[in-house]
Amino acid sequence: MHELSIAMEICRITEEAVGPDRLEDVIEVGLDVGIDADVVIDNLEFCLEALLAGPPFGRGRPVIASRPGDDLRVTYLEVDDADQAN
Amino acid sequence: MPIKRIEVRERVMTRNDELAAAVRHTLEEAGVPAFNLVSSPGSGKTRLLEQTLADLGDELRMAVVTGDVQTSNDAERLARHTDRLVQAVVTNGACHLDARQVGEALAELDLGETDLLFIENVGNLVCPASWDLGEAEKVVLFSVTEGEDKPVKYPKMFEKASTAVITKTDLLPYVPFDLNRARRFLHETNPDLRVILVSALGGAGLEHWYDYLRSRVNVARAERRSLHTA
């Protein structure tokens, strides 16, 4: 049930890491989700797919790794760097 | 397409936990114990608070923050029993309160004129277990109409609570609720859990609940004194 709140917090962390002007460039959000983290991975994935596919994002997708323990963590972000490279 | 990889390694709950720590610090500085009341919907959180405000209102200065998915009905019910401000947080669909909401509600309260704080969480035995609000203790309620196996069905909430209040005990003669089995499940889930049986409607057991609140207020006052003399 609280996966949407968690997904929104993940979006906030993503925005803090890449900045508000580059959210459209986010293509992958990597997560570690512990099996004891009280998170239903399918639900979290569904929420994140919905949030990352729409504004202010657009083409992001979650990549979730299930881990032992209760950790719940954003591990990495992948960003399309084409604009910055030019 | 050139791709840049950014290492983050940030815990998702970090922000909430930081805010909860700030709430806890504020409350400890003020010597105000905060009780986060959690239960499934309909367990009697609001009814217990109504009776507590009515019975202890002259003795203790109690503040209340209520969380509901929609409406401020609970806050309005409670406001009838106290002259003090009852803060209503409408979560607009969220299934739990978070530390930011509690921190904002605290800003409206005069903690210097408060002996204890109740936080009535959204009725839900799953999600509120994961969100630290900065409370001193979680108090989990479950009623005799719900079945005695709630602790083993929702263990995390009962593991995190310090006290379990079994409510609506006036209905015990009418429902197939095995009190011994309930106690066994409670202690299997959390051996340290304090168990209090109450009927807010009939009054049975309320003195145990009130004694528990009084003792926690006294402890918080003593801790505050030692904090300020250290």
* Structure confidence by residue, pLDDT tens digits, A7-63: 999 999 999 999 999 999 999 999 999 998 889 999 999 999 999 999 999 999 999
Distance CA B52, CA B74 (A): 14
Query: Is the domain covering B19-219 a CATH 3.90.1150.10 domain?
Result: no
- The burial of B198, by beta-carbon neighbours within 10 Å (0-12 exposed, 13-18 middle, 19 or more buried), is given as buried
Query: What integer best gives the mean pLDDT of chain B?
Result: 93
**To 5 degrees, how large is the angle CA B71–CA B108–CA A9?**
65
* pLDDT digit string, tens, across residues B168-190: 999 999 999 999 999 999 999 99
The interface pTM score, or ipTM, of the predicted complex is: 0.91
CB of B230 within 8 Å of a chain A CB? The answer is no
B41, B123 Cβ separation under 8 angstroms: yes
**Mean pLDDT computed over B86-104:** 86
* pLDDT digit string, tens, across residues B38-50: 999 999 999 999 9
Which chain B residues have a beta carbon less than 8 Å from that of A82? 1-2
Per-residue tokens: B180: 């011994």
Distance CA A29, CA A31 (A): 7
Q: Name beta bridge partners: B89.
A: B67
Instruction: Say if the Cβ atoms of B11 and A6 lie within 8 Å.
Output: no
Q: Where are the domains of chain B?
A: 19-219
- The burial of B132, by beta-carbon neighbours within 10 Å (0-12 exposed, 13-18 middle, 19 or more buried), is given as buried
Residue A86 has pLDDT above 70, yes or no: no
Handedness of CA B124, B146, B140, B86 (dihedral sign): positive
| Bridge pairing between strands B3-11 and B62-68 | unpaired
What is the b/e burial string over A25-64, where b = at least 16 CB atoms within 10 angstroms of the residue's CB? Answer: bbbbbbbbbeeebbbebeebbebbeebbeeeebeebebeb
* Residue carrying structure tokens 């015990």: B172
Length of chain B: 230
Residue A85 has pLDDT above 80, yes or no: no
Which residue has better confidence, B82 or A41?
A41
* pLDDT digit string, tens, across residues B134-164: 999 999 999 999 989 999 999 999 999 999 9
CB of B3 within 8 Å of a chain A CB? The answer is yes
Residue A75 has pLDDT above 70, yes or no: yes
Which chain A residues have a beta carbon less than 8 Å from that of B9? 73-76
Which of the following CATH numbers is that of domain A3-80: 3.40.50.10860, 3.90.1150.10, 3.30.2320.50, 1.10.540.10?
3.30.2320.50
- The burial of B91, by beta-carbon neighbours within 10 Å (0-12 exposed, 13-18 middle, 19 or more buried), is given as middle
Which chain B residues have a beta carbon less than 8 Å from that of A6? 12
Q: What is the pLDDT of residue B179?
A: 96
B140, B156 Cβ separation under 8 angstroms: no
Instruction: Say if the Cβ atoms of B7 and A75 lie within 8 Å.
Output: yes
**Mean pLDDT computed over B221-230:** 82
pTM: 0.87
Q: How many CB atoms lie within 10 A of CB B109?
A: 18
Nearest Cα neighbor of B88 from B71, B113, B103 is B71
Residue type, B125: L
Q: What is the pLDDT of residue A80?
A: 95
Q: Where are the domains of chain A?
A: 3-80
Q: What is the pLDDT of residue B83?
A: 79
